[in-house]
Amino acid sequence: MLAVSRSALGGAALTQEQIAERVLTVVKNFGKVDAGKVQLDSHFMEDLGLDSLDTVEVVMAIEEEFAVEIPDEDADRILSIKQAVEYLSKHPEAK
């Protein structure tokens, strides 16, 4: 898995590009996703063919990757890779 080590960042905030790269990797590694279809603007259901439970699992994998807890009401609104990146880029505790 491609992940940026926390020590390499020296505690600095993640850039949107770093976040995007890691979210893309998480989604590409999700078993039900065709990695060749994964792009920054991919919608989980419409473009990647995931159902609502799969989407919840992807968001949980993203939470684990960035060591954050996304409240259910926010997680329910994350339906694409771009939305996940935007959410994490505004989350000060994402690592």
Q: What is the CATH number of the domain that holds 78?
A: 1.10.1200.10
Domain total for the chain?
1
CB 63 within 8 A of CB 69: yes
- Distance between CA 16 and CA 3 in Å, rounded? 14
* pLDDT attached to residue 43: 97
Domain residues for the domain of 39 are: 14-89
Provide the residue-wise pLDDT of the chain in tens; the chain has 95 residues: 444 444 344 456 889 999 999 999 999 999 999 999 999 999 999 999 999 999 999 999 999 999 999 999 999 999 999 999 999 999 888 89
Q: Is residue 2 part of a domain?
A: no
Global confidence as pTM: 0.84
- Residues assigned a catalytic role: 51
> How many C-beta atoms surround the C-beta of residue 27 within 10 A?
23
* pLDDT attached to residue 5: 40
* pLDDT attached to residue 12: 63
Q: Is residue 69 part of a domain?
A: yes
